[in-house]
Amino acid sequence: MTDMHDLTRKLQNDNGTKIVLLVADGLGGLPLEPGGNTELESARTPNLDELARKGTLGLSIPVKPGITPGSGPGHLGLFGYDPLKYQIGRGVLEALGIDFELGPDDVAIRGNFCTLDAAGNISDRRAGRISSETGVPLCEKLNRIKIPGVEVFVRHVKEYRMVIVFRGPGLGGDVDDTDPQQTGVPPLAPVARTPGSQKTVEVAQEFLKQARTLLANDAPANFLTMRGIDKQPEIPTFKEVYGLRAGAIAVYPMYRGLARLVSMDVLDAGQTLGDQTARLKAAWNDYDFFFIHFKYTDSTGEDGNFDAKVERIEELDAAIPQITALNPDVLIVTGDHSTPSKMRSHSWHPVPTLLAADNCRSDDCTAFGERDCLRGGLGQFEAKYLMPMALAHAGRLDKFGA
Amino acid sequence: MTDMHDLTRKLQNDNGTKIVLLVADGLGGLPLEPGGNTELESARTPNLDELARKGTLGLSIPVKPGITPGSGPGHLGLFGYDPLKYQIGRGVLEALGIDFELGPDDVAIRGNFCTLDAAGNISDRRAGRISSETGVPLCEKLNRIKIPGVEVFVRHVKEYRMVIVFRGPGLGGDVDDTDPQQTGVPPLAPVARTPGSQKTVEVAQEFLKQARTLLANDAPANFLTMRGIDKQPEIPTFKEVYGLRAGAIAVYPMYRGLARLVSMDVLDAGQTLGDQTARLKAAWNDYDFFFIHFKYTDSTGEDGNFDAKVERIEELDAAIPQITALNPDVLIVTGDHSTPSKMRSHSWHPVPTLLAADNCRSDDCTAFGERDCLRGGLGQFEAKYLMPMALAHAGRLDKFGA
């Protein structure tokens, strides 16, 4: 099957139009009771509703029906990259989440402190969930490990979690986890799944050997396991596949990292939505495409706080006029997945999507909400088709075939 | 992924039913103002509306979301051929557009007269846009070029444009354009992208050598460039993939050519819709499937004439009774793409589609228009699935599996 990027590469034209993709993380929701309103339907959103009347609505399926995505596949889909083709390892995602700038030769690993008993068996896979206060100096200690021929970075993430990065030529990312997923047994030795990753195994063995000595007296965090050992996938750049100069305005590191994966420029986002829209305005002439990320619709959903999610949606709505004042040719408001507060987690439910542009076909929707989106003109579509639709409405795709 | 044709080949049965595919070119439209009516929604279409009440509506996505098709991919999709799998070169399409009957060994080329200055550089890529009056005799002159081992055809298209066809064994179609896409430089030499096209390069070189001598005194049209050098794709026949004897009734050469590509019989269509429906009636017993093409919904859209497009849709509606009087088992009315008069061009917007048959599932649509189609029973579907739906409603597909 043809990759959509083969089409967008061939058909793209740079006509100077501007596209804004506003992602409200976890936007989609559920009613608390059958037949009730979702968070988005409950929120008072006069600005989004006005856009809904002018534009076209639909529901975005992040990966495939029934599949609940993490933030990585959720965003790659919105960026138009097939999330089943470009898979991001856990170690890489962890590195992105702390703003670590991964290079193409880097192997990223999620490390977990663990407790070994006297026999060398794991007695606690999370080292008694040590505090960050305890974890930070231990990571600093591990960061001093030297291995000939490679650079080693160890960065604390949270509590018992860390990111380990090996940087150097010839390091493959096909290495199994050393976490045995059970206690009472020793950690597994790192094993390469492909010959190209043998060097990574040797580096990991040396790292683990030195770590065992360094941490010997640090129980309960007297050792670590390695998970999600991987390199970042080779992802074609946004500029190459779409011809767009793209700027990312995201407060949280994870989303800056995901934008960096597709080679967007990461702009200073400040701390608030007001900071973000101010940055948008300031950078307006420098980019063709802006990705703006709003986190709190997801975090309130994860908290199970329906009312707080409604409030955050209303906060988002209030920021819309700052964006429309810039007259983007295409403005999209959507989410990377649903996070119904009723479920306190990401879900597979299709995500409300609004596309506003001059040449939208009317669909008689009058408000931005799940029920309206269900009968919207975009229909239900896989997220990876959103970027081609954005480009089309921006006049940035030439005709296919004569 | 399974090709639908693998299924239709296996499941087809010839039960003597009749299918009519009425293509109103560029049928889909846009309202002039947000919330307004499209051309189709504005038109008074009592006959189509009656069919809409009996049948099932939907929206056809010609290629993929956001992709605007030319006539070639637009029609291949409607004929059930994946337009991304079967791509038609510009030279081939140009040949189809003048009713040139291409054979499987033919290489077709779009030629443009150009002007060379004394140094041999291109000073005008379109030879001052010479009139057709000037172009015709120059093409007749080029048509006399002889090259050993191949037949050469040169046919005038319009103004500075022509079609060149080389016919002979061993000619490949993988040759780059000779048009440098700029002035002040000489034309490029033809270059083969694959070894199998080396002979084509040699033939093209000889053709260009002779042409340069023949046209030496014909400034501003004292040379030509070659573009879209290609053979027609190998396309399985309609009869083979569907078991249908198909007749095409199209007034314009391009659409007769596209029908010929899938091995439909091209019937005499006359000049008007009345001629076309009379031909349909006369040929009714000779075919299982009829493709009727109506051009003017596209051309009025391209002209940006909303009212004229509305009138053309009403003209189409008035012809419906002549078709339904023949009692086709399946009647489909759709377009190969949208051509909103607001945009004066083809667009990516999904195309209103109506399928009427005895075993349609009711969808409570009451009129043939974009809004009704959006909530129609066929949903939004890729055009390539229309033919399997037509066959199914005609009872021409057996059960898959036991």
| Residues of A at the B interface, defined by Cβ within 8 angstroms | 1-2, 4, 7, 11, 53-54, 359-364, 375, 377, 379, 381, 385, 387-393, 397-402
B270 and B362 in a single domain? The answer is yes
A198 and A241 in a single domain? The answer is no
* Distance in angstroms (rounded) separating the CA atoms of residues B134 and B255: 27
CA distances from A53 to A364, B36, B117 (A): 7, 11, 57
Closest-CA residue of chain B to A8: B67
- Asked whether residue A400 is assigned to any structural domain, the reply reads no
User: In this predicted structure, what is the pLDDT of residue B44?
Assistant: 98
CB contact (8 A) between residue B67 and residue A11: yes
What is the overall mean pLDDT for chain A? 96
CB contact (8 A) between residue A388 and residue B72: no
Whether A336 has a pLDDT exceeding 70, the answer reads yes
Closest-CA residue of chain B to A391: B66
CB contact (8 A) between residue A397 and residue B69: no
User: In this predicted structure, what is the pLDDT of residue A391?
Assistant: 98
Going by pLDDT thresholds of 50, 70 and 90, the confidence category of residue A2 is low
Q: What three-state secondary structure class fits B352?
A: strand
A81 and A116 in a single domain? The answer is no
* Residue A47, H or E segment: helix A46-54
Q: Averaged over A11-31, what is the pLDDT?
A: 98
B359 and B214 in a single domain? The answer is no
User: In this predicted structure, what is the pLDDT of residue A370?
Assistant: 98
Whether A304 has a pLDDT exceeding 80, the answer reads yes
Calculate ∠ Cα A215-A219-A225, nearest 5°: 60
* Distance in angstroms (rounded) separating the CA atoms of residues B364 and B375: 9
> In angstroms, what separates the C-alpha of B288 from chain A's closest C-alpha?
29
Domain that holds residue A330: 4-88+235-393
* Distance in angstroms (rounded) separating the CA atoms of residues B52 and B50: 5
Number of domains in chain B: 2
> In angstroms, what separates the C-alpha of A379 from chain B's closest C-alpha?
7
- Asked whether residue B398 is assigned to any structural domain, the reply reads no
A117 and A254 in a single domain? The answer is no
Q: Which residues of chain B have a CB within 8 Å of the CB of A11?
A: 67
- Report CA B175 to chain centroid distance, whole Å: 23
Produce one character per residue of A254-289: b if its CB has 16 or more CB atoms within 10 Å, e if not: bbbbbbbbbebbbbebeeebeebbebbeeeeeebbb
Q: What three-state secondary structure class fits A203?
A: helix
B271 and B380 in a single domain? The answer is yes
Higher pLDDT, A178 or A1: A178
- Asked whether residue B385 is assigned to any structural domain, the reply reads yes
Mean pLDDT for each 10-residue chunk of chain B (402 residues)?
88 97 98 94 98 98 97 97 93 90 93 96 96 96 96 95 96 95 96 95 97 96 96 94 98 92 95 97 98 97 97 98 98 98 98 98 96 97 98 98 89
> What does the DSSP assignment read for A164-202?
EEEESTT--S-B--S--SSSSSPPPPP-BSSGGGHHHHH
The per-residue pLDDT for range A181-204, each reduced to its tens digit, is 999 999 999 999 999 999 999 999
A77 and A182 in a single domain? The answer is no
A296 and A344 in a single domain? The answer is yes
- Asked whether residue B402 is assigned to any structural domain, the reply reads no
Going by pLDDT thresholds of 50, 70 and 90, the confidence category of residue A3 is confident
CA distances from B4 to B8, B9, B241, B384 (A): 6, 9, 9, 8
Q: Which of B83, B342, B347 sits opposite A401 (nearest CB)?
A: B83
CATH number at residue A314: 3.40.720.10
A124 and A253 in a single domain? The answer is no
* Distance in angstroms (rounded) separating the CA atoms of residues A203 and A193: 15
B303 and B360 in a single domain? The answer is yes
User: In this predicted structure, what is the pLDDT of residue A97?
Assistant: 87
Share of chain A above pLDDT 90, in %: 95
CB contact (8 A) between residue B66 and residue A364: no
Among residues A193, A214, A230, the one where a domain terminates is A230
